[in-house]
Structure 1
């Protein structure tokens, strides 16, 4: 069968306008995704860079303390400085030498004379002190200051003289000489005191508990009654579960009653409340020594000093005793000069045209004075470099300087999303255009 093809007269044929070809869902999705990413990239927050570690910020360490024996308190001071441009959150460290143990507050602030916090510090049990810069450094330059802290000498000195303590500061070591008292050479055995004595000391580095001991002289009568009363001062109370009375006739090398002791033969009568302790021995023979160990808890940690008073009565003779222990605390200072204020932007002179005459009026004469502020040296810390003022040309006025150094950024954020969004948007547009052309060709055939 022959196909019949009907030919239309071109002159009588009317072409209806064709609708634009619809893009495929995939193409539309690509274009939409590109536009969405472009919008998100414009507002995506740029994450801040990780805090930096400032090397060798501790510039010196010194002490005037002398080591008398193991567990002697040794106080140190230091000076520190960080370079301009350091950011809030940046840190620097100080590692104590192995001979020393941290003693006192583990957290403290480094403040300006007006009370602004420049940095904070935290000391770990390992003796590592980490200093963290605060927001103060964002608006100041020439940042530096001091620190002070207390330690305990943990080793038993072998001999007198001077020893070197190595403080690790970043990649360097600061060596500090410390004087060691000459130990006893002869007749060094502990001896009983001639009169009643009392000592008290901190038993923990957090300074929440105090230990004390009463040392009594040997009794001199055939029999003696002995009574000790102990009264804690403000901010403390007695822990009645940690009362240890001792009696005997000899002392060990640490000055405590040696074993075997005589507690079983001469037991003590203990009456204790958090605010008062009374311990009594009855009928102690001649030559007997008595000691009493007491633990008190701190109930008010805001005090600078804690006292304890007591009375010792031996064969009717009363002797008052009193002791005070001060709280050791780490502290620090910091300071810096404020960043210069922004220099106002001076507009370039322009000509004006008179609307009536059409003549131009020349700009006013005179050149604005601009200059770069000089960076001054800080009161504490390492001086910053000095920059001489430089006058800029009149047609290029100095740009204003920010009053606060902005946080550093990694660059991986919204700025990276925008190019990708543009590529996707362009790709989606091209695909949409090619789809439209192919659709047009198919309709043409």
Structure 2
């Protein structure tokens, strides 16, 4: 009885294992191929920008291509050098002239740009490539001048790009400060979600001076009143801006601020004092390409209108491909098999010794020989294209799993049969 129980249990376990392996094998067979990195992708990069100081803008252009027969979902990447940080839109499309997207690109904060091919390459697998353009910022202090080499990484390939560097000032470099009233504005973050402005003016010339600055940003941005920074002082740094020690406590500013307008005023500033005002304006409408910020500067009642405009920097590019030619079938050269004659020969009675009439029909060739000839005829279709790059996983291990499952099922059945026979013998 105990042996019968063991045989029955073993057969049940084997059957369950076989079922599980069968389901697993079917699942693996149904698993789609995974996207692959494209080792043969190529990107060439160039720039005409020159840098003078940290955070200068560097505009770059590129040409890209991938091997023929790359697949939708396959990717290739571009890593910025440590000297640059991505600046502007972090996603963009590479479209052809009719607006079809050939590839998409996504840049992360670490400067890695990943390009992904779309379904377009399934129908246009040849000569896939195009151009791209994007903007970066020089994230470190530049060298002494001349040129510096930036190393971009495309997969495992290094692309070296020279960039001109304007060295620091060495002659007549004492900062004189602004010579006129003005305003400047720039993006304060790589994602371009907020802008920063500076109002500047020459040093005070009168014995005592009253100054009033107003800032009224246009639609698409609003003033952050917690980041309005007035600044007063006698010293300037190498960039011509007010530097420490500041005189803010000695000559405090009066600030009246709302998201649409800020007014900052000083009274009784002495001759030789420099005045600046920094204003941060977060973007409220990210769909705009251009942002405008206007204001006024009044010194001793003389008012000047100032303004600044900043454009959004956008990455973009193009792409295209060529459809694979349709193979032209070659007519078969196999000799057709003539149908055997069904006519019944008619004999003519004769009193003389009959002379057999030779048959004029051509003997029918063997149909087996015709099949063999046809089988050996080379195909007229074009040879299958060779896929370059890393092959994707296709789940080809599925049939092996099914064979194992079938074996386990057979073992389980034999064990069940043996258990049943042993039970019958014991019952007799």
TM range (shorter): 0.7 to 0.9
Shift of 1:162: 1.5
Shift of 1:210: 0.6
Q: Deviations over 1:134-190 (max 9, x none)?
A: 222233222112221111112222322111111122222111111112431122122
Work out which of the residue numbers 85, 102, 108 in structure 1 matches 2:86.
Answer: 102
**Residue 391 of structure 2 corresponds to residue 417 of structure 1:** no
Q: Which has the higher helix share?
A: 2
Shift of 1:73: 0.5
Q: Deviations over 1:393-445 (max 9, x none)?
A: 99555358999x9x9434355323321233234445655776788789x59x9
Closer/same/farther in 2, CA of residues 326 and 56 from structure 1, 3 Å limit: farther
Partner of 1:175: 160
Is this contact kept in 1: 2:29–2:396, CA < 8 A?
Answer: no
Secondary structure of the 2:226 match is: coil
Alignment of 1:242-321 (within 5 A): 242-321=227-306
Shift of 1:303: 1.0
Partner of 2:170: 185
Partner of 2:95: 111
- Structure 1 unaligned segments of length 5 or more: list them: 1-22, 363-391
Is this contact kept in 1: 2:104–2:116, CA < 8 A?
Answer: yes
Partner of 2:77: 93
Partner of 1:12: none
Q: Distance in 1 between matches of 2:339 and 2:97?
A: 58
TM-score normalised by L of structure 1:
0.76
Work out which of the residue numbers 38, 48, 69 in structure 1 matches 2:53.
Answer: 69
Shift of 1:196: 0.3
Closer/same/farther in 2, CA of residues 354 and 108 from structure 1, 3 Å limit: same
Work out which of the residue numbers 398, 404, 407 in structure 1 matches 2:380.
Answer: 398
Closer/same/farther in 2, CA of residues 313 and 43 from structure 1, 3 Å limit: closer
Q: Distance in 2 between matches of 1:60 and 1:139?
A: 26
Taking only aligned residues, the RMSD between alpha carbons, in angstroms, comes to: 3.7
Q: Distance in 2 between matches of 1:25 and 1:284?
A: 99
Q: Deviations over 1:104-159 (max 9, x none)?
A: 12222222222222222222222222222222223322211222111111222232
When structure 1 is superposed on structure 2, of 227-236 and 45-54 the one drifting more is 45-54
Partner of 1:372: none
TM-score normalised by L of structure 2:
0.79
Closer/same/farther in 2, CA of residues 394 and 315 from structure 1, 3 Å limit: farther
- Structure 2 unaligned segments of length 5 or more: list them: 1-6, 345-360, 365-373
Secondary structure of the 1:255 match is: coil
Secondary structure of the 2:402 match is: helix
**Residue 59 of structure 2 corresponds to residue 59 of structure 1:** no
Is this contact kept in 1: 2:196–2:278, CA < 8 A?
Answer: yes
Shift of 1:313: 1.2
Secondary structure of the 1:236 match is: coil
Alignment of 1:7-406 (within 5 A): 41=25, 45-55=29-39, 57-141=41-125, 142-341=127-326, 395-399=377-381
Secondary structure of the 1:211 match is: strand
Secondary structure of the 1:54 match is: coil
Q: Distance in 2 between matches of 1:158 and 1:40?
A: 61
Q: Distance in 2 between matches of 1:180 and 1:54?
A: 34
Shift of 1:92: 1.6
Q: Distance in 1 between matches of 2:71 and 2:166?
A: 44
How many residues of Structure 1 are paired with residues of Structure 2 in the alignment?
391
Q: Distance in 2 between matches of 1:335 and 1:298?
A: 35
Q: Distance in 2 between matches of 1:408 and 1:56?
A: 15
Closer/same/farther in 2, CA of residues 416 and 267 from structure 1, 3 Å limit: same
Shift of 1:87: 2.4
Q: Distance in 1 between matches of 2:31 and 2:73?
A: 14
Q: Distance in 2 between matches of 1:56 and 1:207?
A: 34
Q: Distance in 1 between matches of 2:25 and 2:234?
A: 85
Closer/same/farther in 2, CA of residues 264 and 431 from structure 1, 3 Å limit: closer
Shift of 1:28: 7.8
